[in-house]
Amino acid sequence: MATVDLEKLRTSGAGKAIGVLTSGGDAQGMNAAVRAVTRMGIYVGAKVFLICEGYEGLVEGGENIKPANWLSVSNIIQLGGTVIGSARCKAFTTREGRLAAAYNLVQRGITNLCVIGGDGSLTGANIFRSEWGSLLAELVSEGRISESTAQTYSHLSIAGLVGSIDNDFCGTDMTIGTDSALHRIMEVIDAITTTAQSHQRTFVLEVMGRHCGYLALVSALASGADWLFIPEAPPEDGWENFMCERLGETRSRGSRLNIIIIAEGAIDRHGKPITSRYVKDLVVQRLGFDTRVTVLGHVQRGGTPSAFDRVLSSKMGMEAVMALLEATPDTPACVVSLSGNQSVRLPLMECVQMTKEVQKAMDEKRFDEAIQLRGRSFENNWNIYKLLAHQKISKEKTNFSLAILNVGAPAAGMNAAVRSAVRSGISQGHTVYVVHDGFEGLAKGQVQEVGWHDVAGWLGRGGSMLGTKRTLPKAYLEKIVENIRTYNIHALLVIGGFEAYEGVLQLVEARGRYEELCIVMCVIPATISNNVPGTDFSLGSDTAVNAAMESCDRIKQSASGTKRRVFIVETMGGYCGYLATVTGIAVGADAAYVFEDPFNIQDLKANVEHMTEKMKTDIQRGLVLRNEKCHEYYTTEFLYNLYSSEGRGIFDCRTNVLGHLQQVQGGGARILEGHCLAPSVPALAGHLAVLTPLTRVLTPALQGRPPRLVLLRPQPEGGGGGATPTSPSPLRLLVGGGPAEACCGVSQPDVRAPCYSVRGSSLSAGPACWMPVPRGDPRPPTQ
C-alpha cells in the first residue's frame, strides 16, 4: 500500500453500494472474506450490505439484506462456516427469481455484487449480470421502478471469490477452505495413526472430493499413505494385486500400520466406482489384515479456519472490492484468484469453462489431460506422489554418499524432510549419513549411516530427531574437513534457518583452502522466523503462524469474558517480523509492531488513543502483537507499562510471551510450510523430491567438475520469474545465465554459487551468494 494514495482511496467508493453473499457449500474462511469485503468497502467510502442466506436471501429481500457497519463483522474471522448463512436456491435459477433479486438490489441502490461460492454460484452470478439490463427493462414495464432509476442503476458489476474445500476451480492455485480441510484431515490421520500402530491395523480413509481428488492427493503426500485413489487418475487394471503386494511389502519391512486414502469419487479405468467398503473387503480377504473404514464427511468442512485461509480470504476480499470499484460496463465479470503469492483477477466464465473441461475430459477417459487441466499445482503434486509413493530399496549400490544435518533452531517439518531425503537417497542406491547436533556434531564425528527403517515414524514428529545447534562451522573447519574425508562424503544436505545458510556459505568460502569442501552443498530453509534470504517461505513458518494464531484466538476468547482488556502478545522471529505480521492479519489484531516497519512514540500514542476510543464501542477488547526484537527500547514491558498507564480507568492490560510453543508441530504441519504464501504441497515432497534430479546433476560434478552450493527455496506457483516446465519428467532443472550455471556445466571454478529455487515441480536458478540480506535480518552487523 506504500505506492497507493490513501486519501484518494478512502473516497474512491463514495456513492457506491456493495452487496456480499455466500452461496453453495460452506467453507472455512468465508467469514474472513465477508469481513474483508465489508471493511474494505467501508474504508473506501462505499455502503456495504450483507445478504443473508445466499441467493435465497437475495430473492426474498426484506430483512435478509441489511446494511453493515465496521462492528457488524467484528470477531468473526476465527469462525468456521459463514455467519450470514448459505443456501442452494432453486428460485434463482428461474427468471422470476432473478427478477425479484434485481428489484431488491435496485431498491437499495446496490450495483456491485461480491459472490463467495463455488463454480455453480459464480455461474449464476454471471447469468444474473448478463440479464441485468433486460431485468430492469421488465421492472420498468411492470411499473415497479421508474425509467430514471433503471438508467441510474443500469450496470451490475460482479466479483467472485471461490469458496470450496475441494480446490476444484480452475484458474486459482488454492480456493478458500481447502487448507483448513487439509488440516482437519491431517488431524484425523494423526489420531488414527496411534491406534493403528497399537493394533497393527489398516485404515481406509474416505475424504471429500466427488469430482476432484485434491484433498486425497495432498493428504496422501503429507501423511505418507501407502495407497491413493483419486478420480483424475484411476488405477490400471489389476490394481488389486499391486495394492495388496505393496501393503504386504510394507508390513514385511516392519511397518505396523497401513493407510489407504480414497476420494469419494474414485473410479477405475472403466468408470466403475471404487468404494472404501470394497477396498476394505479386498484387504481383509487377500491379506487378512485387521482393517477399518473411516469416512470423514462433513468434519472436513468444520472447525476453525487455518491461518492460510484467513489471510487468503482477507487478501481476496480486499482485491474484490478494488475490482468492483474499477469495473466498467465493458468489464467482464471477474473472479479473484491466487497465482503464486499474488491476488489476480481472471475472467469468470473462462475459469468456469475450464473447470467444466476437466469433468468432460474425465467423462471421456482422457485422464492425463484432466490432470493437466487441473493446473500446475495439482499436476506437480501428482508427479511428486508418483516419484515418492512407491520407493524401494535399491539393490544396486552407487559410490555416492550424502550427509544430512540440521542447523539452527528446531522447526516443524525438519524430521519429515530428513526422512524423505534418507529414503530418496537409499532408493537410488546411495549411502546416506545423518549428522547429530549440526556442524558441531560433524566436527566431533557424530556421523551415522542410516537405513530405511531408521527413519520410520519420523514424518509427524516435531522438533529435530537429529539434534540441532546454532554453531557455525568456521571454528571447526579443520575437524569438519577431516570427517568429510574420513566418511568420504560427496554432498551435504543442510536443513535449517539462517545459521544453515550462513554456515554453508562459510564452507563455500573455505574451498580455496580445503579441496574436501569442493562438494555439492544444499540448503533447505527450515525456520519459524522465515528469515532466510532468497525464499518466500521456510519449513516451520506456517506451523508457527498457526500455533501463534491459535494462542491469540484463546487469548481473545479470554478477553470476551473480561471487558475492557488489552492483551500485548510477543511473538518470536528475531529481527524478522513475519510471524507477528501474518499472525496479526490472521487474528485481526489492532496493531503489530515489527522491526521492518520503524515506529516511534507518536505511533504508540496514536495506537493507545485508538484503543481508548475502541473501548467506547461494543468491542471492549484489544490485541496488540509485538515481534520480540522490533525495537531496542520499546520492549514488551515498556508497551505494557505505556498501555496500562494511558488506559488507566478505561481498560486494563495483560502481556503474553508465546515463546517456544511456536515451535510445536501440530497435525497440519506436514502440509507444505509457508501455506500463507503458496499452494498446498507437502513439505517433504515439495522440497525433497528434488533430491532425485539433484543427484543426477551431482554425478558429473564428482567427475572433476567444480561443484556448487545449492539453496532449495520453495516459492509460490506462478510467482515471479522462471520458466514453465515442458518436460514430461516430474522435475526439470531451469538454469540461469552468467558464470554461475548448473553445477555439472561449469568449466571454470567459481566460488559464486547458483541458488536453485523450487517452483512447484521445477527448479529455477539464481545466485545464492549474491543475495542481499534483508534489512536487520537476522542479526545486527555488530554480530
Question: Catalytic residues, which ones?
Answer: 166
Q: Which residues pair with 405 in a beta bridge?
A: 435, 494
Cell digits of residue 546: 498457526
Q: Are 258 and 251 in contact (CB under 8 A)?
A: yes
Cell digits of residue 392: 524401494
What are the Cα distances from residue 117, in Å, to 25, 394, 754, 775? 7, 48, 43, 40
CA of residue 700 relative to chain centroid, distance: 36
3-state secondary structure labels for all residues of 236-293: CCCHHHHHHHHHHHHHHCCCCCEEEEEECCCECCCCCECCHHHHHHHHHHHHCCCEEE
Using a 10 angstrom Cβ sphere, with 0-12 exposed, 13-18 middle and 19 or more buried, the burial of residue 569 is buried
Using a 10 angstrom Cβ sphere, with 0-12 exposed, 13-18 middle and 19 or more buried, the burial of residue 650 is middle
Q: Considering Cα of 633, then 634, then 636, then 641, what sign does the dihedral take?
A: positive
Q: What span, in angstroms and rounded, lies between the C-alpha atoms of 74 and 67?
A: 14
Q: What span, in angstroms and rounded, lies between the C-alpha atoms of 12 and 14?
A: 6
Q: What span, in angstroms and rounded, lies between the C-alpha atoms of 593 and 552?
A: 15
Q: What span, in angstroms and rounded, lies between the C-alpha atoms of 293 and 251?
A: 19
Cell digits of residue 244: 495388496
Q: What span, in angstroms and rounded, lies between the C-alpha atoms of 67 and 73?
A: 11
CA of residue 207 relative to chain centroid, distance: 19
Would you report the helix, strand and coil content of the chain in percent, each value rounded to 5?
45, 20, 40
Q: Helices (DSSP H) in 66-146: which residue ranges? A: 95-107, 119-130, 132-141
Name the region of 269 (left: φ>0; alpha: ψ -120 to 50; beta: rest).
alpha
What are the Cα distances from residue 242, in Å, to 252, 394, 444, 525, 530? 15, 19, 46, 37, 42
Q: What span, in angstroms and rounded, lies between the C-alpha atoms of 770 and 537?
A: 19
Which value, to the nearest 10 degrees, does the dihedral of the CA atoms of residues 471, 473, 477, 480 take?
80
| Beta-sheet strand order (sheet of 291-295) | 227-229, 258-263, 202-207, 291-295
CA of residue 591 relative to chain centroid, distance: 24
Q: Are 128 and 59 in contact (CB under 8 A)?
A: no
Q: Considering Cα of 514, then 519, then 524, then 526, what sign does the dihedral take?
A: negative
Q: What span, in angstroms and rounded, lies between the C-alpha atoms of 761 and 374?
A: 15
Q: Are 298 and 242 in contact (CB under 8 A)?
A: no
b/e code 484-509 from CB counts within 10 Å (16+ = b): beebebbbbbbbbbbbbbbbbbbbbe
187 Cβ neighbours under 8 A, 6+ residues apart? 666, 667, 668
b/e code 312-341 from CB counts within 10 Å (16+ = b): bbbbbbbbbbbbbbebeeeeebbbbbbbbb
Q: What span, in angstroms and rounded, lies between the C-alpha atoms of 477 and 318?
A: 52
**What is the number of alpha carbons within 13 Å of residue 53 lying toward its C-beta?**
15
Q: Considering Cα of 121, then 127, then 129, then 135, what sign does the dihedral take?
A: negative
